Structure 1
Amino acid sequence: MYLPQLEAPFLTDGGLETDFLYNHGYALPHFSAITLIDGGHRENALLDYYRGFLDLAETHGVGFLLESPTWRASPDWAAPLGLSLEALAERNHRAIRLLDELRIEQDRAIPIVLSGCLGPRGDGYRADAPTSAREAAAYHRWQIDIFAEEQVDLVSGITITTVAEAVGIAEAARAAGLPCVISFTVETDGRLPEGTALGEAIAAVDAQTRAGPAYYMVNCAHPDHFARTLDPGAPWIGRLRGLRCNASRRSHAELEAATELDAGDPDELAASHARLVERFADLHVLGGCCGTDLRHVRAIAEACYP
């Protein structure tokens, strides 16, 4: 299991989908970055996007978690994207291969970990599916098996809204022989969309999977939404190893209704991260989510890894 981010600082990328959609004018049907995997200029733009973050990590002498653009590329999204299941599978394969080639195209003096990213089966802002851990494991195994075939270093479940789905992803990854990371999203009250407190969710997944995930993260929330719920003395706090925060303080409902990007304040966001990293030394993986781009992650790197 090659997971140096457990011991050393790492960066990852920003809000890929919002960056391409709002900052660069790319259409992303159903908010799916897998549509950038087209063998043409969209694909080249995607690789240039990652190169910017890799350069940043190298400048700061920290590792980089190379997260695949496959968050919304699981079976239920094939038909809405106008793809056959076979075509969607091929795009998943190609996405991983492209990133694998990217991490060896230059002799970079930093560790680079390749992660197969998957999102929730349903909406990333609502606890709408699946209803059981067994159902989640069966559903997500399709994409996880593709990641296993491509020999990724780990699986990352991003923007997970329920304990049941987190358990299912962890069990499916274990069955495929891959370590996994679970990144929960929380509402403005610091609770998962299903209502479970963050610490309770981490403890529940660990209890049901025999501490299956390698570690946990929080994403798609501003630090103000959850910082007050982080207790340095809590038994689960050492399991929280990373953050991919939103630039905006808006709620999920407000973000979903928005027609313009809320990019927040990169320096203010970075200062929030610096305070958290000072309090919680195990927060090793830092990146961004909705509304963030290279500017935000650069500010975070300068504040936390000068």
Structure 2
Amino acid sequence: MSTPLDTNVRYLTDSGLETTLVFHDGRDLPAFAAFVLLDDVRGRARLDAYYREHADVAKRHGMGFIFEAPTWRSNPDWGREVGYNAAALDRINCEAIDFLRRIELDYRATPTLVSGQIGPRGDGYKAGEMMMAGEAATYHVRQIAAFSKADMVTALTMTYVDEAVGIALAAENAQMPVVISFTTETDGRLPSGQPLGEAIEECDARTDGYVAYYMVNCAHPEHFAQALDGSFAARIRGLRANASCLSHAELDAAETLDIGDPPALGAHYRALTQALPELTVFGGCCGTDIRHIHHIVSELSPVAC
């Protein structure tokens, strides 16, 4: 599948939405589900401000921007946990794309894309109970269908390859470009134990290369930088790193937010552009916020922050 990106453009996306809402805003976010804010007037206003804050940085630095829908948790299992049945999830997933399209209108001079974000069926920190690829395709197909007005779908925090393959196959059936983002433990392996490069190569082999590109998210650069040696590295075009160097298990047990070292994170991103020659999409994950985005961009852009 060809990439939906303009290959002459570097793109910014957002940072750690859920950790920003919980730890900085003090919101009670059930099951870490940000999509519920779309059903609240003040919640929608907060999301609007959040996306604009990030898109403004991209605009100021001559970068493109990818609007990622706040739908990481809006799948059947997590939706049911916060009181959304299948029909309610269809509605909210469609509304999430419409919501971003309205914001996008104010950034017509900036290269932009709207992405329907898909999260794992289970815990984003653990592989847990794993589905076969066919089951994963059936599980995620309805959410992908609800993203029909998006430019692409992005599956973040994939912990094992079969779920990623299933999402890719479901997206192909819907004729929707798809991005797969794996997470890693501190040893550069997926939570399932599979090496990152092997997971990318297997996913490509089982989908005939349908995935537009791959990303890494929800891991600190120090966790996976040593795992990038191989031809598969050319398939990684995006990075949304964690602020903290802590492991997933340590983060899960933490009661306070570790924002790490924002300037050092920016330097890590710059270094990774050397190891990953196709790296063109930059954002953040757990613990990051607009401060980290500024430091990342300052390392990538000649325009001063």
TM-score band by shorter chain is: over 0.9
Give the number of equivalent residue pairs.
Answer: 301
Q: Distance in 1 between matches of 2:12 and 2:201?
A: 26
SS at match of 2:231: coil
Contact kept? 2:3, 2:177, Cα under 8 Å: no
Q: Which residue number corresponds to residue 227 of structure 2?
A: 229
Q: Distance in 2 between matches of 1:167 and 1:14?
A: 25
The code of the aligned residue for 1:100 comes to R
Aligned match for 2:299, one of 289, 295, 303: 303
Q: Which residue number corresponds to residue 143 of structure 2?
A: 143
Within 5 Å, give how 1:275-290 maps onto structure 2: 275-290=271-286
Contact kept? 1:118, 1:156, Cα under 8 Å: yes
SS at match of 1:36: helix
Q: Distance in 2 between matches of 1:196 and 1:161?
A: 9
Within 5 Å, give how 1:177-188 maps onto structure 2: 177-188=175-186
Which shows bigger deviation, 124-133 or 214-223?
124-133
Q: Distance in 1 between matches of 2:173 and 2:38?
A: 28
CA pair 107-190 structure 1, distance change in 2 beyond 3 A: closer
Q: Which residue number corresponds to residue 101 of structure 2?
A: 100
Query: CA shift at 1:107, angstroms?
Result: 4.5
Q: Which residue number corresponds to residue 235 of structure 2?
A: 239
Which shows bigger deviation, 135-144 or 108-117?
108-117
Q: Distance in 1 between matches of 2:96 and 2:182?
A: 23
Aligned match for 2:201, one of 196, 200, 203: 203
Which shows bigger deviation, 76-85 or 244-253?
76-85
Q: Distance in 2 between matches of 1:6 and 1:236?
A: 18
Q: Distance in 1 between matches of 2:78 and 2:8?
A: 36
Contact kept? 1:118, 1:158, Cα under 8 Å: yes
Contact kept? 2:76, 2:85, Cα under 8 Å: no
Query: CA shift at 1:25, angstroms?
Result: 1.2
Match status 1:153 vs 2:154: no
Contact kept? 1:5, 1:285, Cα under 8 Å: no
Contact kept? 2:188, 2:195, Cα under 8 Å: yes
Query: CA shift at 1:92, angstroms?
Result: 1.2
SS at match of 1:236: helix
RMSD over aligned CA atoms reads: 1.2
SS at match of 1:4: coil
Aligned match for 1:168, one of 162, 166, 173: 166
Give CA deviations for 1:239-281 in whole Å, capped at 9, x if unaligned: 0101000000000000011110001111010001011113333
Q: Distance in 1 between matches of 2:254 and 2:107?
A: 41
Give CA deviations for 1:1-23 in whole Å, capped at 9, x if unaligned: 77225442100000000001101
Contact kept? 2:22, 2:29, Cα under 8 Å: yes
Query: CA shift at 1:93, angstroms?
Result: 1.2
The code of the aligned residue for 1:40 comes to V
Give CA deviations for 1:200-222 in whole Å, capped at 9, x if unaligned: 00000000000010000000000
Contact kept? 2:228, 2:275, Cα under 8 Å: no
The code of the aligned residue for 1:143 comes to Q
Alignment gaps of 5+ in structure 2: none
Alignment gaps of 5+ in structure 1: none
Contact kept? 1:121, 1:130, Cα under 8 Å: no
Within 5 Å, give how 1:262-281 maps onto structure 2: 262-281=258-277
Query: CA shift at 1:87, angstroms?
Result: 1.6
Contact kept? 2:3, 2:212, Cα under 8 Å: no
Q: Distance in 1 between matches of 2:242 and 2:192?
A: 20
Contact kept? 1:58, 1:108, Cα under 8 Å: no
| TM-score, normalization by structure 1 | 0.96
Q: Which residue number corresponds to residue 188 of structure 2?
A: 190
Which shows bigger deviation, 272-281 or 292-301?
272-281
Q: Distance in 2 between matches of 1:237 and 1:2?
A: 16
Q: Distance in 2 between matches of 1:275 and 1:67?
A: 25
Query: CA shift at 1:288, angstroms?
Result: 0.1
Query: CA shift at 1:82, angstroms?
Result: 1.6
Query: CA shift at 1:83, angstroms?
Result: 2.1
Contact kept? 1:157, 1:180, Cα under 8 Å: yes
Q: Which residue number corresponds to residue 254 of structure 2?
A: 258
Within 5 Å, give how 1:62-81 maps onto structure 2: 62-81=63-82
Match status 1:15 vs 2:16: yes
Identity rate, percent: 49
